Structure 1
């Protein structure tokens, strides 16, 4: 097994554990009360199992344990970071960066002092794993990233006030439609990039810009424009990285 493949598998384990196998209740408790959360140990156990199983090596038991323990420490202190008057804006991004640095560091250390000897040869290529990661990132993780960008920029405060006013006026919009639209556009954009149809990405972006909101909805139009740029940007980066790897 190549080192790049091993690191990608560990990154895949992190994505699954932190975004797909972590409930909203787990995340809320972790972000608000940190080490006092009764669900934090459950989350850390999931992190350990994902890391260990996707290493395809029994000997990585210790490495997965190190990743899980440091994950516990980082997540435990995140509640304090979220309450910091200035640092709270960057808590999510620093949290994710630290997790990635840890899993890369442990992987490098394990490869140097033990070697990569999986129980069996993985029947998929490194590129395939990268593509799977790209699609997964375009689902839930991308929604969290966009949400945190809005939150850190305090943009969501203004739009929330407008949405509240629209609800009182009986605005006719589907709940959570924006999230679904974002997921679909990222998946389509990533697919077009992977098959080399870059013109289709431009057409998709133009179509959404025309259809999404009326010109008179200035505040919401700007909100959607920022979200669209972030959304397509994530898909483009994922597509480029998957293609390079």
Structure 2
């Protein structure tokens, strides 16, 4: 296993932990009461287990413990960041950036001092791991990222005639399709998808709502396009 593969596996472990293995309600509980949340301790334990498991080697246990402990501290203190008058709106981005920086540092230092000698060598190559990561990012993580961008920029619009969570489902589907088209080099299909959504969603006179949808659409397609470009680079 090479360093890049271990880094990517740890990133996948982080995606699973913070986006797929916790509900929005439990995440909100952590963000609200910090160290008083009983779920936070289970979250930290799951962080250790996933980091160790995805490393595919026994020697990574101490590194996994460091990742889990720092994750525990960051999530515990995040309540104060959320309550900050200036940094509160950017708490999500600051928190995620620090998590990823710590993971990268721990993995690089582990590679330098211990080397990478997995107990189980997976045959899947780096590009296929990137593809898996790209699809994972295009699911729940992208929805949360877009929501936090709206929150950070104070972009809001009220609507009384839309189905609950319909926008999230549409966003996931369009990102998966876009990423798939880019991976197979069908760029014209991406343009057709954007045009089709424009016809369906922008044919109204609600200017604020149209601009809101346009921002969300550009962010959604942008995430999928960037993921596709990164995958194709390899």
- TM-score, length-normalised on structure 2? 0.97
- Deviation readout 1:15-51 (Å, 9 max, x if unpaired): 0001000122220111111111111011111111111
Q: Tell me by how many angstroms 1:239 deviates.
A: 0.8
User: Structure 2: how far apart are the matches of 1:145 and 1:120?
Assistant: 34
- The aligned runs of 1:20-35 (5 Å cut-off) are 20-35=20-35
Runs ≥4 in structure 1, deviation > 4 angstroms? Answer: none
- Deviation readout 1:131-184 (Å, 9 max, x if unpaired): 10000000000000000000111112xx1xx32xx3xxxx3x322111100000
Counterpart for residue 234 of structure 1: 223
- The aligned runs of 1:1-245 (5 Å cut-off) are 1-156=1-156, 159=157, 162-163=158-159, 166=160, 171=161, 173-245=162-234
Q: Tell me by how many angstroms 1:243 deviates.
A: 1.8
User: Structure 2: how far apart are the matches of 1:23 and 1:38?
Assistant: 14
Show structure 1 runs of 5+ residues with no match.
none
**Aligned pair count?**
234
- Deviation readout 1:97-134 (Å, 9 max, x if unpaired): 11110111000011111110001211200111111000
Aligned-residue Cα RMSD (Å) equals: 1.0
Q: Tell me by how many angstroms 1:242 deviates.
A: 1.6
Show structure 2 runs of 5+ residues with no match.
none
